[in-house]
Structure 1
Amino acid sequence: MSFELDNKNIESLGLFFKQGTLYKELLKFPKPKTPFTYNWADQHGEERDTISPVRYEPLQYALVCYMVADNVDDLMAKRTKILELISNPKGFLLNSTTLGRSFKLYYEDSPSFNLLTPILTAAGKIYCEFILNVINNFDEVGLIVPLQDINSYVLTELGQQIYVTINKQLF
């Protein structure tokens, strides 16, 4: 399971996700927005808009995270770097190689931060657990896909695959 936060490997940031929680959040189905309806007085039920495409409410995720640091200075540096990456007003990308897709997310808040080991440990690492509340607004993300025809992948003269980037709105 490999993840990147704005094209930076999360393990290099000392960031890990609690086992079994990330996919549970990322794979939730979005709630459709209420379609236009009209309740005619002389008819049963409601008349619903059946022509317009379905639009979705933004999804909120509560990502349970762990951070590992070598010492207090390393903890503060990693915390600062993570906050810097996720606080971009344009959002940030969480890339999952396992799912083969990216999620454009917006940082909302972090309601908890727990030290799992004492911060003034003489030897050993510092382990922390925290929750990141983020919003998926279903913005378009770039997908990197291999170029292929109906028979197989298209290769270069050296036998390497060709990849193209497409922008797509994923749900």
Structure 2
Amino acid sequence: MIKDSISGVTLRDNFGAFITSGLDDLLRMHDTKERFLHDWGDENGIEFDRKAPVYFKEKRVTLEIVMMGNSEADFWNKYKGFFTLITKPGTFRLYLDELSRSFYCYYHSSTSFRKLTYLKHEEYEGIGVKFNLVLIEPEPSFWKQFTFLTDKNGNRLITTDNYALIVTE
């Protein structure tokens, strides 16, 4: 079972939400910030500081999300709960089961909203929408270190709801 989550809250179980595309954006490396360089008019190429450390820009990530509810009330509760969670101040931890990685992001916008079903209709039990969720990863998450709690044999300690215990800064 997929356990994608935001700040420990499982997307599927709590919001009826699935990430259908966009993981490639998260795997893409951040662009570097501009280095100090000079382009001499009478020489080939450029001259730059070869010993200066490399710094990275923030990265904009677009994830396609499908969100489903069992009824109109269920859909709106999930919708409001999802956007309340991701629009809190600061960053949130987006854990993606397929990548076995966490990314620290903040909400930027949601675009391309499409209804998959009627939002209000007696004949349909399920309600669904598809949209693009645009997040900003302010700094590369691959630099962040994670520590998993393990037993004496090195096996990760797992909670009763099948999550590995993780310690972050």
Q: Report TM bin, short chain.
A: 0.7 to 0.9
Alignment identity in percent?
24
1:32 Cα offset (Å): 1.2
Letter in 2 for 1:16: F
Q: Which residue does 1:45 correspond to in 2?
A: 45
8 Å contact 1:102–1:143 — kept in the other structure? no
Tell me the C-alpha RMSD between the 2 structures: 2.5
| Local SS of the residue matching 1:73 | helix
- Where do residues 69-148 of structure 1 align in structure 2 (5 Å cutoff)? 69-122=69-122, 123-138=124-139, 141=144, 143-145=146-148
Q: Distance in 1 between matches of 2:81 and 2:140?
A: 24
Contact 1:101–1:143 under 8 Å retained in 2: no
The runs of 5 or more residues in structure 2 that have no matched partner are: 158-164
More strand by share: 1
Cα pair 2:23 2:63 within 8 Å, conserved: no
Q: TM-score, normalised by structure 2?
A: 0.80
User: 1: CA distance between counterparts of 2:121 and 2:103?
Assistant: 36
SS in 1 for 2:129: strand
Q: What secondary structure sits across from 1:76 in the alignment?
A: helix
Letter in 1 for 2:147: I
Amino acid at match of 1:3: D
Deviations 1:49-79 (A, max 9, x none): 1112211121111111000001111111111
Q: How many residues in Structure 1 have an aligned counterpart in Structure 2?
A: 157
Task: Please show how residues 57-76 of structure 1 align to structure 2 within 5 Å.
Answer: 57-76=57-76
Cα deviation per residue 1:28-54 (whole Å; 9 max; x = unaligned)? 122111111123466543221111221
| 1:57 to 1:113, Cα distance in 2 relative to 1, 3 A | same
Task: Confirm or deny: 8 A CA contact 1:155 1:161 kept in the other structure.
Answer: no
